[in-house]
């Protein structure tokens, strides 16, 4: 076995796809690696909250000892269901205008547990081709039949529905709202319209991991921005990105929440999040609506960078704060990342199996902590690198 592993690792290395954990020292929005200090554009701290020392200090100043609970020491079905969990879930349900919410330890737990809990052999899952790996794993762990429709191709989805709708008791349409690798967005309004044609037989499952905090008039996500939260049956999001915390949630009906509590294995068999972490999440959630200036700044940065890439004739599918530079070969993506790091930007190559072979890229994750001068510097560097090719 050891020999086989060594051979497989050598093969990954030869293809420039071998991954290693980076050694980093964090200094706010900057990271230090190999003696170099660089602006971190590889995190998911979209609103810059994770590096906001003033916000963190404000929270700590108001923290009482009885809320300083560093471990749940149990699953929520035993003794780990602290009051703050229910406070957070009530706040989520109220803000989204849904019957109920349920909090999980992470987005991976949410997406690998929800579908297996809800699906039977008489269920069909129709999922966008570019959904996150956690959703793919959830589909594979479920008893459902799974099919993929071409990315954002709702005509293809419609044909699959028409062909198979009468062969199954229940159909789930599964998508992300903002896709994690390309930064483009799903047409949620059209998905809702398609779902409505089939009344109760089709349910819509939307992962808002990269939209929560960033979009919407109160920061609740892209579904809020489009006004279609009420028509999404399972709306999932995470707290570990724009909300600068940890964990994930689903907002749904009370019946589905109760079923997940009873049947969802990652929820049942996991020690709950530390209550302190949940308390911090609740603190951020209650301030999310007031952070519009950060969302506006992030939008301006994103629009500026996408406009520049268009002017440089660099293909860019992005419609969000995630802006990929599509490279192709993994070795070329590594070289491009190293060049950008030499110019002071901590950017990393995204390679297979995260993305398909031949589509390796640099994934720029913009943050509201970035200022205009830093954006101008980045754009100048990209311009010079494009000219040198």
Mutual orientation of helices 372-387 and 330-342 as an angle, nearest 10°? 130
Look-up: residue for tokens 């049947």?
Answer: 263
| Cα distance between residue 275 and residue 81, in whole Å | 9
The DSSP secondary structure of 200-257, one letter per residue, reads: GGEEEEEE-TTTTTTSSTTSS-HHHHHT-GGG-SEEEEESSSTTSS--EEEEE-HHHH
Mutual orientation of helices 154-164 and 188-196 as an angle, nearest 10°? 20
Catalytic residue among 17, 40, 44, 111: 44
Catalytic residue among 132, 195, 297, 336: 132
388 classed as catalytic:
no
Catalytic residue among 210, 231, 360, 365: 210
182 classed as catalytic:
no
Catalytic residue among 98, 241, 297, 336: 241
CA distances for 252 relative to 198, 241, 257, 384, angstroms: 19, 21, 7, 49
Taking the alpha carbons of 368, 23, 362, 358 in that order, is the dihedral positive or negative?
A: negative
Q: Give 379's contacts (C-beta < 8 A, 6+ positions apart).
A: 304, 305, 308
Taking the alpha carbons of 129, 133, 139, 145 in that order, is the dihedral positive or negative?
A: positive
- Cα-Cα-Cα-Cα dihedral of 106, 253, 242, 284, to 10°? -100
163 classed as catalytic:
no
302 classed as catalytic:
no
Cβ atoms 322, 45 nearer than 8 A: no
Counting every residue written for the chain, the total comes to 389
Q: Give 181's contacts (C-beta < 8 A, 6+ positions apart).
A: 130, 322, 324, 350, 354, 355, 361, 363
Cβ atoms 119, 112 nearer than 8 A: no
* φ, ψ of residue 118 in degrees (nearest 5): -95, -25
Cβ atoms 345, 209 nearer than 8 A: no
Bridge partner residues of 27 (DSSP): 30
Catalytic residue among 180, 245, 330, 360: 180
336 classed as catalytic:
no
DSSP state of 273: P
Cβ atoms 55, 374 nearer than 8 A: no
17 classed as catalytic:
no
262 classed as catalytic:
no
Catalytic residue among 45, 128, 176, 231: 176
Burial of 151 (0-12, 13-18, 19+ CB in 10 A): middle
Which residues are tagged catalytic? 44, 132, 176, 180, 207, 210, 241
């Amino acid at each position: 076995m050891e020999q086989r592993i060594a051979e497989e690792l050598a093969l990954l290395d030869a293809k420039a796809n071998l991954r290693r954990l980076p050694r980093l020292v964090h200094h706010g929005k900057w990271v230090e690696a190999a003696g170099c200090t660089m602006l971190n554009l590889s995190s998911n701290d979209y609103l810059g909250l994770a590096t906001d020392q003033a916000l963190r200090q404000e929270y700590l100043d108001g923290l009482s000892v009885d809320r300083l609970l560093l471990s749940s020491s149990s699953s929520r079905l035993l003794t780990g269901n602290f009051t703050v969990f229910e406070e957070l879930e009530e706040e989520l349900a109220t803000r989204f205008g849904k019957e109920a919410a349920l909090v999980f330890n992470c987005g991976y737990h949410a997406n690998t547990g929800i579908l297996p809990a809800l699906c039977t052999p008489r269920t069909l899952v129709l999922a966008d081709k570019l959904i996150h790996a956690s959703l793919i794993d959830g589909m594979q762990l479920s008893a459902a039949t799974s099919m993929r429709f071409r990315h954002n191709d709702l005509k293809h989805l419609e044909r699959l529905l028409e062909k198979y709708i009468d062969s199954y008791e229940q159909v789930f349409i599964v998508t992300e709202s903002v896709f994690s690798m390309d930064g483009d967005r799903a047409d949620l309004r059209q998905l809702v319209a398609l779902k409505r044609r089939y009344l109760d037989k089709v349910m819509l499952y939307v992962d808002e991991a990269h939209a929560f905090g960033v979009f919407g008039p109160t920061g609740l996500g892209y579904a809020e921005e489009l006004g279609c939260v009420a028509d999404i049956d399972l709306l999932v999001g995470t707290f570990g990105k724009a909300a600068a915390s940890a964990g994930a949630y689903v907002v749904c009906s009370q019946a589905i929440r109760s079923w997940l509590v009873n049947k969802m294995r990652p929820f049942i068999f996991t020690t709950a999040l530390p209550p302190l972490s949940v308390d911090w999440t609740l603190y951020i959630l209650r301030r999310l609506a007031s952070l519009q200036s950060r969302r506006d700044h992030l939008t301006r940065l994103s629009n500026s960078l996408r406009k520049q890439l268009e002017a440089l004739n660099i293909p860019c599918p992005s419609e969000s704060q995630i802006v990929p530079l599509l490279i192709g070969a993994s070795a070329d993506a590594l070289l491009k990342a190293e060049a950008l790091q030499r110019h002071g930007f901590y950017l990393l190559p995204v390679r297979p199996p995260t993305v398909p072979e031949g589509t390796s890229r640099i994934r720029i994750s913009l943050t509201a902590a970035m200022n205009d001068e830093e954006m101008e510097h980045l754009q100048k560097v990209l311009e010079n690198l494009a000219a040198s090719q």
